[in-house]
Amino acid sequence: MTDNKKTSGVVIFDGVCNLCNGAVNFIITHDPDARFLFTPGQSELAAKLANQHDIQESLDETFVLIQANECYYRSDAALQIASQLTGGWRFLRFLRIVPRVLRDWVYRIVAGHRYDWFGRRDMCMTPADDVARRFVT
């Protein structure tokens, strides 16, 4: 990874999912301090992190944030990330008052249809040169 002390966490995402790639691009746009790093769930690093943090989830079926040795999944990961983005996105953290079971139910519906609704790629995205340093494998 990196020794950058500003780094806030590592986001593990489905590298072939268009919705997930869109989410990564959104985070990059709203994280000008480059606190988040990214690795596709299909990478060797993702497998290593899953083993290291005892992640039992399928990495190509969930969104994971590893931050300060804590793992956040699904809607918790999205809200934790949003709370650290610029602009009004940080106010989404108030959605934590909605019970996780309900938030994750909605998350699972979208995740279950993400390829049908948003499509998928044949291979993981190739980041542009200006953000490539934020992708770790």
Q: How far apart, in whole angstroms, are the C-alpha atoms of residue 14 and residue 124?
A: 8
Question: Looking at residue 82, what is its pLDDT?
Answer: 95
**Pairing label, strands 9-13, 36-40:** parallel
pLDDT at 130 over 70: yes
Question: Looking at residue 69, what is its pLDDT?
Answer: 87
| Partners of 37 in beta bridges | 10
Q: Mean pLDDT throughout 15-37?
A: 93
What's the whole-model pTM score?
A: 0.86
From 13, 81, 66, 86, select the one nearest 43 (Cα to Cα): 13
Q: Mean pLDDT throughout 53-64?
A: 83
Q: How far apart, in whole angstroms, are the C-alpha atoms of residue 132 and residue 119?
A: 23
Q: How far apart, in whole angstroms, are the C-alpha atoms of residue 100 and residue 26?
A: 23
Report CA dihedral (131, 14, 136, 56) to the nearest 10 degrees: 150
Question: Looking at residue 125, what is its pLDDT?
Answer: 67
**Whole-number average pLDDT of the chain:** 88
- Number of C-beta neighbours around residue 84 at 10 A: 19
Sign of CA pseudo-dihedral 43, 47, 50, 53: negative
Question: Looking at residue 7, what is its pLDDT?
Answer: 65
Question: Looking at residue 101, what is its pLDDT?
Answer: 96
| pLDDT tens string 82-115 | 999 999 998 998 999 999 999 999 999 999 999 9
From 70, 75, 114, 66, select the one nearest 94 (Cα to Cα): 75
pLDDT at 133 over 90: no
Question: Looking at residue 6, what is its pLDDT?
Answer: 63
